[in-house]
Every structure is written in structure tokens, then in C-alpha cells.
Copies of this chain bind each other. A is one copy, B any other.
Amino acid sequence: MRGQPIFNRLALIGMGLIGSSIARATRAQGTARSIVATARSAATRRRVAELGLADQVVETNAAAAEGADLVIVAIPVGACGEVAAEIGPHLAPGAIVSDVGSVKGTVLRAMSPHLPAGVHFVPAHPVAGTENSGPDAGFAELFVNRWCILTPPSSVEPTAVERLAAFWRLLGANVEIMSAEHHDLVLGITSHLPHLIAYTIVGTADELSQVTRSEVLQFSAGGFRDFTRIAASDPTMWRDVFLANKDAVLEMLGRFNEDLATLTRAIRRGDGETLFNQFSRTRAIRRAIVDIGQDSPVPDFGRPHPELPHQPLPRPYAAED
């Protein structure tokens, strides 16, 4: 059952994993009457047209913004200020402008000055994604049962916030509202620090002289491969995240380093009790995440395990009768 549209014309600026998933979900749910899309590269615009993800694909950000009552900027956070400057003069009065960036404080500061009075700026961050990028990587169900965090400045009209919240809920997301500053701390620990650590360890493994790259790949099922999934995320997006959320990330890194030093000392001293206590505690946290539906309970992430081979026995090793 499709509801009535919340918006007449949705403009999507940027059609990567997130932008193209919003387009697909909007289509599926009928939350906007029409979708106009644009992307920086001509190849992406062409692909978006081929995939039929929008009613209209335009060449400039200004053209996309023209006449839209919801504009979502779905690009790396470092480019948000510039795009705001481009679209500012073309925004319709009463339009809602939003984004999907993983950092909110800097985006708020970068975009706000360029947005005219009478436009409602409601920054948003859907906490959802995969390790893939580009318009082909998106899918309509990406946001279902994931959280979308809105960080509206206090000056924004509550009805605009509610309208955007209703839009995200129809895309399947749960909506939470908090300050940009608090968002950046929460995501610093739940997303940015894990990505930094994953990127680091994958690099460390690749540079060892004692262990070859092919050995690292071959034996990656022991834990390493889970880190590589995260470390396969979009490099431009993540470069911008760390530059934009520098303070919170450095703060979280400081805490992490202290905790790692404690465990390192326990290993050095052969202090099994400290290790055991720490390792026991973390199991409960995993269980809680599964309990609240933020991860699958299927073991090993439900990775497929191929069937047993049932191969014939090599004769020489048959047990004697």
C-alpha cells in the first residue's frame, strides 16, 4: 500500500550508494511525486538515466535544486559547502534542504551560510550502508530498520523537521533527533573509529615483511576479512569524514589507545585474568545489538558455507580392516 507523496519534487544531488538508495526507496514508497537527480560525473548521470532511477537527470546542481521542495545532498561531506553555495540562489522558498553526511557539525557550519532565509535546513544522517559505492550499489531496502539521525539547528521550524522525519520513516528508517555535536561524538565511536582502525590494520598486514600478502589473504577467515569489508568503503567519503570530525575522532582514539595499552600490558605480563574479564564483557554487548535488531543473529554473518565435497577416498590412507 503506497501512501500519498510527502513531497512534490525531490532533488537528489549525488547518486552513489546512498543517493541511489533514496531514489529507489522513494519510488517504491511513493514518498515524492517526482525525482530529479544529478551527479558530478557524466558517467554517473548516464548510469542513473540507464537505470531509470529518476524522472529527470540534469547536469548541474542548480538545475536540480530549481523548483524542488526537498533537496538532499548525498555527497562526501567535504563538498557540501561548495554545493550549498551553488544551489542557494536557486532554492524555492519553503524548500527543505538536507544531506546524508556522516559528520554533522562541519556540514552545518559549511552549508548554513549559503542557504537563504525561508529555506529549512535539516541535516540528516542515515546510519546505513554497505562496502560498495556508486549508483548500481544502492537498493530500496537499505534504510529499513536502520536509524536516521536528524540534527536540526534550534532555529528550524518543527513542522519542517517533522516532514523530513515522516519521509525517512516511509523509507523504513527509525528517526532520532539530537544535536550535531552529540551526533559527532556518537558516530565517532560507533563508526569513525572502527573505520580508522580497520583501514589501519589492513594496511599493517599488507606491509609486513615476515608474512606475504598472499598468506594474509589466504588465512583471512581468522578475523581479518571482517576488517577488510569495512576498509573497502569509499575512500573519498572517509577521507572527508576524518577531516571533518577531527576533534571527536582524536578524542576517541585517545581512549582507544589507553585501553589497548592496558590489554597490551596484560599480554606482556601474562595477566590472563584481565584478558578474560575484558573478553567476557564484550560478548554481552554483541548479544544486545542482536536483541535490538541492529544485526543478524545468524552466525558468521550468515556467510554461505558450501556443501561438503563427498570426494572419494584416496586409497593409500584407508584404515586396515
Decide yes or no whether A109 CB sits under 8 A from chain B: no
Known A190-B216, A295-B225, A299-B131; contact A275-B243, beta-carbon cutoff 8 A: yes
A304 touching B296, Cβ below 8 Å: yes
Q: Which residue of B lies closest to A131 (CB)?
A: B299
Taking the closest CB of chain B, its distance from the CB of A31, in whole angstroms, is 8
Measured between beta carbons, the chain B residues less than 8 angstroms from A235 are: 276, 279-280, 283
Q: How many angstroms between the C-alpha atoms of A278 and B196 in the bound complex?
A: 10
B127 touching A295, Cβ below 8 Å: no
B278 touching A203, Cβ below 8 Å: yes
Identical copies of this chain, number: 2
B218 touching A292, Cβ below 8 Å: yes
Measured between beta carbons, the chain B residues less than 8 angstroms from A276 are: 235-236, 239
Q: Which residue in B102, B191, B221 is a CB contact (below 8 Å) of A147?
A: B221
CB pairs A–B below 8 angstroms (22 shown): A3-B311, A4-B318, A8-B319, A28-B308, A31-B313, A78-B272, A130-B299, A144-B307, A144-B308, A162-B317, A170-B311, A182-B210, A187-B219, A192-B223, A203-B259, A206-B281, A207-B259, A217-B285, A217-B294, A228-B285, A229-B286, A296-B303
A: which residues have CB within 8 A of B?
Answer: 1-8, 25, 28-29, 31-33, 69, 78, 102, 127-132, 137, 139-142, 144-147, 149, 162-163, 166-167, 169-172, 176, 182, 185-187, 189-208, 210-211, 213, 215-233, 235-236, 238-240, 242-243, 246, 249-250, 252-253, 255-257, 259-260, 263-264, 266-268, 270, 272, 275-276, 278-283, 285-289, 292, 294-296, 299-314, 316-320
